[in-house]
Structure 1
Amino acid sequence: MTLPKVELHHHLEGAAPPALIRDMARMRGADIGGIFGPDGGYAYRDFTGFLAVYEVATSVLKGPEDYARLTGAVLENTAAQGVVYLETFISPDFCGGRDLGAWREYLHAIAEAARVAERAHGIVTRGIVTCIRHFGPAMARDAALCAAETAGDFIVGFGMAGDERRGVVADFAYAFDMAREAGLGLTAHAGEWEGPTSVRAVLDDLRVDRIGHGVRAAEDPALVERLAQTGVVLEICPGSNIALGVYPRWSDHPIARLRAAGVKVTVSTDDPPFFHTTMTQEYDRLAQTFGWGEDDFAALNRVAAEAAFCDTATRAALLKRLEFADD
């Protein structure tokens, strides 16, 4: 599918090409061969294994220069899939250990690499700072401070990733309040491994603007109606859900049912090389499975552009680029 695309749910480290991670490991004499399969790609058995492999792969990224190189490689690959606007998750836990001074250095390197990629490939990138749920609420507050102190043109949002089966959502409310006061858009992973209750929790306790995944809301008609009425946007990553076994087959995925019920949905890749996907492949599989055509994908991209956490001028330019007339 050659349409210009908007992607809102994307982890920077999770998009690292395996070849890049292997090369960085060789440079440092690190033996991480156990995280790769026979085909050279990332290998894991389940979601817990995925998180472990993710953290091992990230461990070879040692400084701002590594993150600049990572950002350049990821954005080149993403732009090649027709993505013209990307919001990517970046965690201070991995970028300077939540030390504000170190975080600023990492962020400068990432943002500069993003500017270079915009000039070279035409892709506009913004960052969403994420805390890691299974690291606990205290570390989340530190991550939120990093986000609040660097909110601006590049950092536009704050979110929570990690293992949604761990911890109590309400315990992270302070971190989200801090980010909200800094004017950042808010999102949180929910409704992937836990059911509709987890979606309600991030709506009620964190008051998020968007939900990462959120697909298991489909199990509760009242919750689906609430999402449709409030306009909270779901950042859905179908290929990720299939690869991790949330749903056994594409035909079982609820994205089409949610959309038909009036829920605002978007499409993203999550951690593309981990799930052997690209934005083009996501679109192609959705077209094959649900019969969606260019008008459907154009509508999805408009939802994504309108839900983006960027400033008004950037959104207007994006909508124009997507060839939507001003209302």
Structure 2
Amino acid sequence: MDEEQRETIRALPKVELHLHLEGAAPPAFIRGIAQEKSVRLDNVFREDGAYAYRDFVHFLSVYEAATSVLKSPQDYARLTRAVLEESAASGVIYSETFLSPDFCGGGDTGAWKEYLHAMMEVAEEAERDMGITLRGIVTCIRHFGPEKAKRAALCAAETAGNWLVGFGMAGDENKGKQRDFAYSFDMAREAGLRLTSHAGEWRGPREVREAIEDLRVERIGHGVRAIEDLALVDMLVEKGIVLEVCPGSNVTLGVYPKMSAHPVEKLRERGVRITVSTDDPPFFHTTMADEYEALARTFGWDAEMFRSLARTSAEAAFCDETTRSALLKRLETA
């Protein structure tokens, strides 16, 4: 890949569907908030200022420690602005971000609405000023348990609309079963929210199948280990289930040893609907532009492949049809 091809690919308009808001916080932003509040964050940062963690479980604890300094709707407004600036700089024109009422008001519906309003105001300003559209997906946190998930689902149901468009589950995939959270997903579905769940990152293909059968989701966060069960891959194709693939995250966390071992290309070749996202970009030292470049370098994906990827992502977005039509038009005319 020569320099001209590289720049062309990095400059393409991008659609991101799997982004954790707190996990996208630049380390300098979190350090700044902590200093303002005189809060010590021990063992959260490396000497070079990056986030410090050993493995996936430790990553979750560092994530929650960093998030602990965000205590108000105003903090989340500032966070939203910082994240959107980073995304827009990488060419993202539409993003869906995961939001947890557990972090935004402790699961209290009244407090959650205040946090949500603050984030929505900033998102509206960013769309006007930076040309990036943001939508929210409430996530329950798997390792917080099913009861807290019900509170998150209630927050989601009470604020469902054109901005809060989905419900899903994040957290430690090794805790409990997908079906333990069926009540919360049913509540969200009845409120008109679209559904996704993290699965098939750590526990393997069975977890993906259970998310589809027990929670009736239409998208899967990660889902890459479905490749280990080709009958499941065929099910994904038949049902049109979309995978929110985060290659850089998977490699950094050790799901795969290197990008060339990642199954994203095999899944795509077998007809699975693939999207690409960053997950928690500063934790994994990536951006959407970096993801595109790595895929081009490793698998030979060209600009037309990435345009097709962006269209698939726009079609799989949980936004309303008016927003989707405008997004597809932007992609067509870019």
Does residue 307 (structure 1) correspond to residue 320 (structure 2)? The answer is: no
Q: Structure 1 CA distance, aligned partners of 2:70 and 2:239?
A: 40
| Partner residue in 2 for 1:157 | 166
- Tell me the amino acid that sits aligned with residue 271 of structure 2: G
Output aligned runs, 1:3-82, within 5 Å: 3-82=12-91
Q: Structure 2 CA distance, aligned partners of 1:238 and 1:165?
A: 20
Q: Structure 2 CA distance, aligned partners of 1:34 and 1:143?
A: 29
Give the aligned length: 325
Q: Structure 1 CA distance, aligned partners of 2:330 and 2:193?
A: 24
| Partner residue in 2 for 1:94 | 103
Partner of 1:323, secondary structure, is: helix
Runs in 1 of length 4+ with deviation above 4 angstroms?
none
Q: Structure 2 CA distance, aligned partners of 1:302 and 1:10?
A: 18
> CA shift at 1:231, angstroms?
0.7
| Partner residue in 1 for 2:221 | 212
> CA shift at 1:29, angstroms?
1.2
Does residue 110 (structure 1) correspond to residue 119 (structure 2)? The answer is: yes
| Partner residue in 1 for 2:209 | 200
- Tell me the amino acid that sits aligned with residue 230 of structure 1: K
| Partner residue in 2 for 1:283 | 292
- Give RMSD over aligned pairs: 0.9
> CA shift at 1:162, angstroms?
0.2
Q: TM-score w.r.t. structure 1 length?
A: 0.98
TM-superposition CA deviations, 1:275-296 (whole Å, max 9, x none): 0000000000000000000111
> CA shift at 1:324, angstroms?
6.9
Q: Structure 2 CA distance, aligned partners of 1:324 and 1:266?
A: 20
**Residue in structure 2 matching 1:140, options 122, 143, 149:** 149
- Tell me the amino acid that sits aligned with residue 28 of structure 2: A
**Residue in structure 2 matching 1:191, options 200, 220, 235:** 200
| Partner residue in 1 for 2:183 | 174
Of all paired residues, the percent bearing the same amino acid is: 67
Partner of 1:34, secondary structure, is: coil
TM-superposition CA deviations, 1:174-216 (whole Å, max 9, x none): 1000000111110000000110010011000000010000000
| Structure 2: tracts of 5 or more residues without a match | 1-9
TM-superposition CA deviations, 1:69-115 (whole Å, max 9, x none): 00001001100100000000000000000000000000000000111
Q: Structure 1 CA distance, aligned partners of 2:333 and 2:107?
A: 40
| Partner residue in 2 for 1:234 | 243
Partner of 1:130, secondary structure, is: strand
Q: TM-score w.r.t. structure 2 length?
A: 0.96
Partner of 1:35, secondary structure, is: coil
| Partner residue in 1 for 2:130 | 121
Partner of 1:211, secondary structure, is: strand
| Structure 1: tracts of 5 or more residues without a match | none
Does residue 257 (structure 1) correspond to residue 266 (structure 2)? The answer is: yes
Distance 1:226 1:324, change over 3 A: farther
Q: Structure 2 CA distance, aligned partners of 1:216 and 1:252?
A: 12
TM-superposition CA deviations, 1:28-51 (whole Å, max 9, x none): 111104110121010101001100
